[in-house]
């Protein structure tokens, strides 16, 4: 009996050892624009895969592009890690556009799911915010740099260098099947299990991968990474811009509210931060600012709504031009632009106009309301003082002219608690 128990214990321990020694594969899921949050996530995933001695790190990606600086950070991390890296463009319908193309080609193994696409790595799309296309010199410099950078990546990973250069210069794109045929990628996989089957036994960096029965462990994004990754969208930036305009202008039209001003400033900072990655056009921002000025000016100018109409048109065109229309992924939908235009016009017509007009209304309370009123002199008034009775109270009064007691006087000014008066004609 004791012998059979010992055998069972040994078998259990042996099973536990096998489980403990089971090969692992780490997987990071990247969706959306490539920015600082994405770079932080992928670099952290690489370090985690190295710490757990994973067979490889799979970066499942679907991106419209992103920031060049973040792309370079990811590529450098791929080059320096001892862990084999696999970029898998998936699921079906996903794409590795612009910055995603650089990252895919920089991986040790580049894979795509069927019905996915890769390419369009023109530098204007990944250089960050600003109207770069208007500066031909800067555009040429960026294009030359991006072409050289892409060429070095493709050459290092022994991929199709000529196509890689056309992806930058001509924004060339390929389907998964075309990319495999042109040796831009290494394999096509239906899903992650199919990918692991094809990776099994592959030599990567002097290491033979064992992935067929490997345990797949996801590396989740940290909460702060999720938040910043979620806001890299033109719709979010546009909404933040509106909040900034409403908050700051609302605070100026109603001084002392505090909350609108604070909210507006925070939204403005976030919008400026996002402008570093999204293809923002200066002309669009300028038109939105002009529209804001026209709305405010119409409150005081007797134009019978002409400036407001101009502001509505300017705002609509500015929102339409705010993001680079040549990038389909970053186009702002009319379903956002039209309601935002109507809401902004209503905000300025009804809220801001009422607040600004209220600031210029005559004072209706306080001692300033006594200016211009008539009151009797209770005692003689002269340059050295006297007394008047106003609204049920006795006030000290001075006058450049001598005024007899009982004579009517007109209040012409107030200095502290002393009224300046003159004889009432």
* Residue 355 within a domain: yes
Distance CA(129)–CA(55), nearest Å, equals: 38
Strand partners, 397: 419
pLDDT at site 20: 40
The verdict on 43 and 147 lying in the same domain is yes
Of the candidates 188, 222, 256, which is a domain's last residue?
Answer: 222
| 159 within domain boundaries | yes
Is the same domain home to 179 and 328? no
Establish if 244 belongs to a structural domain: yes
**Strand, helix or coil at 329?**
helix
Residue with tokens 């209503």: 346
Q: Token pair 């679907």 is at which residue?
A: 62
Q: How many structural domains are present in the chain?
A: 3
Alpha carbon separation from 182 to 35, 114, 248 (Å, rounded): 29, 15, 54
What residue numbers bound the domain in which 283 lies?
233-359
Residue 101 lies in a domain: yes
* Separation in Å, CA 381 to CA 386, 390, 391, 407, 410: 4, 15, 18, 10, 12
For residues 186-215, give the mean pLDDT: 93
Same domain membership, residue 196 and residue 104 = yes
Task: Please identify, among 192, 222, 252, the residue that sits at the C-terminal boundary of a domain.
Answer: 222
pLDDT at 32 over 90: no
Cis omega (within 30 of 0) on the bond before 139? no
Instruction: Report the pLDDT value the prediction gives residue 164, as an integer from 0 to 100.
Output: 94
149 with 208, same domain? yes
Q: Do 314 and 284 share a structural domain?
A: yes
CATH number, position 405: 2.40.50.140
Cα–Cα dist 212/26, whole Å: 14
Predicted confidence band of residue 136 (pLDDT cuts 50, 70, 90): low
The verdict on 328 and 303 lying in the same domain is yes
pTM flag (> 0.85): no
Highest mean pLDDT among 5-9, 151-155, 360-364: 151-155
Q: Same structural domain for residues 29 and 141?
A: yes
Residue 19 has pLDDT above 60, yes or no: no
110 and 155 belong to one structural domain: yes
User: Does residue 329 carry a pLDDT above 80?
Assistant: no
Q: Are residues 109 and 137 both part of a single domain?
A: yes
Residues 130 and 213 in one domain: yes
Compute φ and ψ for 405, nearest 5 degrees.
-60, 135
Residue 65 has pLDDT above 70, yes or no: yes
* Same domain, yes or no: 107 and 134: yes
Half-sphere exposure of 405 (CA within 13 A, CB side): 4
Question: Domain end: 222, 256, 280, which one?
Answer: 222
Measured from the Cβ of residue 200, the count of other Cβ atoms closer than 10 Å reads 16
Split at pLDDT 50, 70, 90, the class of 368 is low
Q: Do residues 158 and 253 both lie within one domain?
A: no
Cα 101 to Cα 185, 230, 406, distances in angstroms? 11, 21, 93
């Amino acid at each position: 009996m004791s012998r059979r128990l010992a055998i069972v214990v040994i078998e259990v321990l042996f099973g536990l050892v096998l489980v403990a020694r089971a090969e692992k594969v780490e997987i990071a899921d990247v969706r959306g624009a490539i920015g600082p949050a994405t770079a932080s996530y992928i670099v952290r995933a690489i370090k985690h895969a190295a710490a757990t001695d994973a067979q490889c790190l799979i970066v499942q990606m679907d991106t419209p592009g992103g920031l060049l600086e973040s792309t370079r950070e990811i590529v450098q991390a791929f080059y320096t890690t001892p862990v084999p890296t696999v970029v898998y463009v998936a699921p079906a319908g996903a794409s590795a556009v612009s910055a995603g193309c650089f990252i895919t080609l920089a991986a040790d193994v580049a894979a795509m799911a069927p019905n996915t696409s890769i390419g369009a790595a023109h530098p204007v799309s990944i250089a960050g915010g600003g109207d770069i296309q208007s500066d031909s010199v800067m555009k040429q410099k960026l294009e030359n740099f991006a072409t050289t950078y892409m060429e070095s990546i493709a050459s290092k990973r022994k991929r199709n260098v000529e196509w890689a250069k056309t992806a930058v210069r001509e924004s060339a794109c390929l389907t998964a099947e075309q990319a495999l045929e042109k040796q831009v990628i290494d394999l096509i996989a239906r899903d992650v299990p199919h990918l692991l089957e094809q990776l099994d036994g592959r030599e990567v960096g002097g290491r033979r991968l064992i992935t067929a029965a490997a345990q797949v462990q996801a590396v989740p994004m940290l909460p702060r990474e999720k938040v910043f990754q979620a806001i890299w969208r033109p719709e979010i930036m546009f909404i933040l811009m509106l909040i900034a305009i409403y908050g700051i202008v609302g605070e100026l039209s109603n001084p002392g509210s505090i909350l609108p001003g604070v909210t507006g400033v925070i939204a403005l900072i976030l919008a400026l931060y996002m402008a570093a990655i999204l293809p923002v056009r200066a002309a669009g921002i300028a038109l939105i600012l002009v529209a804001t000025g026209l709305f405010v000016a119409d409150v005081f100018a007797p134009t019978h709504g002409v400036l407001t109409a101009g502001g509505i048109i300017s705002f609509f065109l500015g929102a339409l031009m705010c993001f680079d229309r040549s990038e389909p992924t970053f186009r702002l939908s009319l379903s956002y632009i039209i309601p935002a235009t109507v809401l902004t016009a209503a905000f300025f017509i009804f809220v801001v106009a009422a607040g600004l007009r209220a600031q210029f209304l005559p004072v209706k309370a306080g001692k300033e309301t006594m200016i211009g009123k008539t009151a009797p002199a209770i005692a003689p008034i002269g340059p050295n003082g006297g007394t008047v009775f106003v609204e049920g109270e006795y006030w000290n009064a001075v006058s450049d002219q001598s005024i007899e007691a009982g004579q009517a006087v007109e209040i012409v000014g107030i200095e502290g608690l002393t009224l300046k008066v003159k004889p009432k004609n």
